[in-house]
Structure 1
Amino acid sequence: MKTLTYTSTKDIHDLTWPEVEQNIGLYTPALRVFTDFKDASPRLIEPSVRADVLVEIMKKEHVRMKVVVDSLNNFLGIISLEDLSDEAFIKRIAEGYVRDELLVIDLMRPKEDLLAVTYKSLSNSDIESLVLSQKSNAHQHLLVVDDETMSIRGLVSANDIVRQLQLNIDVATSTSFAKLNDVLEHEYADSKRIRVA
């Protein structure tokens, strides 16, 4: 057994805080809004989980997207709260499915339908270029592929960009890249606050 060293907190006055870059703007490197799976484990789900159960799980975990994997952790696709909307359930029920029999695999976006950005290109980009390149992306998340290992390296969330740029957009609901681009083009077009790098 290892021995731990204890100390009194009586004379402790300070807290350690994470280093936060204060002046994040559109010209800040895109990696500042990248969630790297080397640092933060991906949120995983198997395709055989009931879709209605997953909605509750995701709400309790406060996550909006999960990576769908098989029992060997092979990447199959993604599923988000957008994919689990009431409209998505109604559409499937109209096709003959029974609501409580719908599984993740029935509502997920399979990997064949996804487009991702490469890590190398993301690392050479800034936030503005990233958002502009995604201006027709109706989804909130963008996967990032490691060029060398050909694996899913991480993701970028439009809501994370909203938070980092401190934009006046409600992140309680999902924000698509298209909506983010539209807001930046119209409401913040002349803003010096977010254009400062």
Structure 2
Amino acid sequence: MKTLTYVTTKDVNELAWPELQQNTGLYSPATRVFTDFKVSIPRVIEPTVRADVLANIMKKEHVRMKVVVDAKNSFLGIVSLEDLSEEAFIKQAAAGYLRDELLAIDLMRPKEELLAVSYSSLKNSDIESLIYSQKSNPFQHLLVVDEETKAIRGLISANDIVRQLKLNVDVTTSTSFAKLHAVIEGDYAQSKRLRVA
């Protein structure tokens, strides 16, 4: 057992505070809304996990997307709660599959079908440019690839952008980039609050 040292707070007058960042706005660097896998451990799942079990795991963990990797942690694709919706299970049942035999690999979006943004271009971009470039993206997550290392460097979530910009959008449901773009173009187009850089 380790021994802890206790001290009196009688002569302590200060609090430690985190280093404050400026408010995030449309013209803030896009990296402010980037989840960097060099800082945050990616949420991964194996392709052989039952899809219905995975949906429950993700709901309990309060995550909407996982990266699918094999036993050697090689990237295979992604799976989101949208991919594991009741509609997706019904569609698979209509194709002859039983609900309890569907695996993550059956409902994931394979890497061959995904488009990602380059990390080097993200570093030189702002949030507005990022949102505009994704105006047709029907999904909530966007992968970021480090082209030098040929690795998934991280991801960007439309819900994270909503939170950071403090938009009046319900984040208890998934927000696609297309919906986020529509909100920015519509309700917030003239908002000076978003234009703080």
Q: Please indicate the TM-score interval, normalised by the length of the shorter structure.
A: over 0.9
Q: Which digits, 9 at most, give the CA deviation of each residue in 1:90-142, with x for residues without a partner?
A: 11111111011110011000000000000000000000000000000000000
TM-score by length of 2: 0.94
Matches within 5 A, 1:27-176: 27-176=27-176
Give the TM-score taking structure 1 as reference length.
Answer: 0.94
Instruction: Give the counterpart letter for 2:43 in structure 1.
Output: R
Divergent runs of 4+, >3 A: 8-20
Gaps of 5+ in 2: none
Judged with a 3 Å threshold, the aligned counterparts in structure 2 of structure 1 residues 170 and 147 are, in CA distance, closer, same or farther, namely same
What percent identity do the matched residue pairs reach? 71
Q: Which amino acid aligns with 2:130?
A: L
Q: Which runs of 5+ in 1 are unaligned?
A: none
Q: After superposition, what is the alpha-carbon deviation per residue over 1:52-73, rounded to whole angstroms, capped at 9, x for unaligned?
A: 0001111111111000000000
Over 3 Å counting, the alpha-carbon distance change for 1:25 and 1:105 in structure 2 is same
In structure 2, do the counterparts of structure 1 residues 185 and 38 end up closer, same or farther at CA, with 3 Å as the change threshold?
A: same
Take 2:83 and 2:67, find their aligned partners in 1: how far apart are those partners? 13
TM-align CA RMSD: 1.6
Deviation, 1:181, is 0.1
After superposition, the C-alpha distances for 1:24-66 in whole angstroms (9 at most, x for unaligned) are 1000000000000000010000000000000111111111100
Pair 9,109 (structure 1): closer, same or farther in 2 beyond 3 Å: farther
Q: In 1, distance between residues paired with 2:103 and 2:41?
A: 23
- The reply to whether residue 21 of structure 1 matches residue 4 of structure 2 is no
